[in-house]
Each structure stands twice: as structure tokens, then as C-alpha cells.
Chain A
Amino acid sequence: ETGVTQTPRHLVMGMTNKKSLKCEQHLGHNAMYWYKQSAKKPLELMFVYNFKEQTENNSVPSRFSPECPNSSHLFLHLHTLQPEDSALYLCASSQGGGAEFFGPGTRLTVL
């Protein structure tokens, strides 16, 4: 498989559930990102990882917990989410500060 993959593509969860989003990049990049995009809203950067080290956390609530075990994999652990967290969650990767390549996203609905 090539590019950036994300699973699951769709997720429905209750406010008390715990779930995880997975991202994998096959591009040999050293940086990975999580973005949130609510309906008809701009991209919101959530987290940045460079060489597995978290370098940015844009005031994201603690109910979102990222994990980057290596340069190719990125997870977003979700717990006790709110309905307003429903959005498209996008993973991206890049080589340094170059172009970012996005995965297809996970459409999350919180009931």
C-alpha cells in the first residue's frame, strides 16, 4: 500500500467509549500530523511529531491523546468525547517542512 492510510474510515462512538484512530505512512517521511476539520470549517492543526517526538500540541483537550511509536505510525486515542468533537480527522506526513500528504481521513461521529 502506498501513501498515507487511515483506519477506520468511519467511526461512531458514544461519549463514554474509548477508541483509537490509526495512521500509517509509506512515504519514508520523518514528520506526522493530526488535523481536525469540522463541517465547512478550516483545517485545525492538533499535533505534530518529528522523528517520533511531539513538537506541537495546539491546546488540544486531554480527551485526545496522540501516540507515535515510530516514524511510520501515528495513533489518536479518544476517550470521553463530546458531540462537538464530531469531525473529519486527518493524518498527514511530510519530510521536514515540505509538502504534507494527507490520508483519506476518519469521519467521527460522537453521539
Chain B
Amino acid sequence: QKEVEQNSGPLSVPEGAIASLNCTYSDRGSQSFFWYRQYSGKSPELIMFIYSNGDKEDGRFTAQLNKASQYVSLLIRDSQPSDSATYLCAVNRDTGRRALTFGSGTRLQVQP
């Protein structure tokens, strides 16, 4: 089992719809959770982070965390073609010196 799992996609949604991206992780000791967006040929860009169970909203983006079920999700409301990218989920397994563990990403396509 991979430490951080994401469906590779592509996930295709029409413009204006809600895109739902999911991520599961294996280490129950994970404490911090991050979502990155990566456009083709570009570097990953941090868009959201969440530490506590529940929802966290930032503009059109909502991150949801459920530690009991070991999943974290990202909702994108009113999806735009410019949201078409690969979304990477990343998890911090412990505090201090360890690097984030990244999933392989879900490719999102927003159809105009």
C-alpha cells in the first residue's frame, strides 16, 4: 500500500461544477496535510493546508480532513478551465526533520 494514494484521473468536470479530489494516507500519526496544484511543465504550488478534522475554506477551495478514516479531500467550487492541472496531496508524517510524502497526483480537466 502506498503511503499517500490518489486516483490518477483524469477527473473531468464541466465548467462551473464542483470538483472533488480525494486522498488517503496510511500513517495514523500524520499531522499536517497539504494540497498542491501543478500545471504541466511547472513546479507545484501550495494552495491549501489543513491540520484539524473538519473543513477549511479559502475562496473557491475547501479542504476536508477526516483522521479517523485517514482521508483528506479538496473541493473546488465553480470550477474554471484554468483549474485544469494535476493536484498533489502531501502529508507530514511527523514534526521536525522529515520531508513531506507526496501522492502521485490527480489530473483534473475542467471542460468549457
Contact = CB atoms under 8 A, between A and B. Distances in A.
B58 to A, nearest CB: 14
Interface residues of A, number: 23
Contacts, number: 57
B99 A99 contact: no
Nearest to B48: A99
A109 B44 CA distance: 20
B102 A43 contact: yes
Contact of A97 (B42, B97, B105): B97
A88 B98 CA distance: 22
Contacts of A56: 98-99
A100 interface: yes
Contacts of B100: 94, 97, 99-100
Contact of B42 (A45, A48, A55, A104): A104
B97 A31 contact: yes
Nearest to B104: A42
B78 interface: no
Interface of B: 32, 34, 41-46, 49, 88, 90, 92, 94-100, 102-105
Interface of A: 31, 33, 42-43, 45, 48, 50, 55-56, 88, 90, 94, 96-105, 107
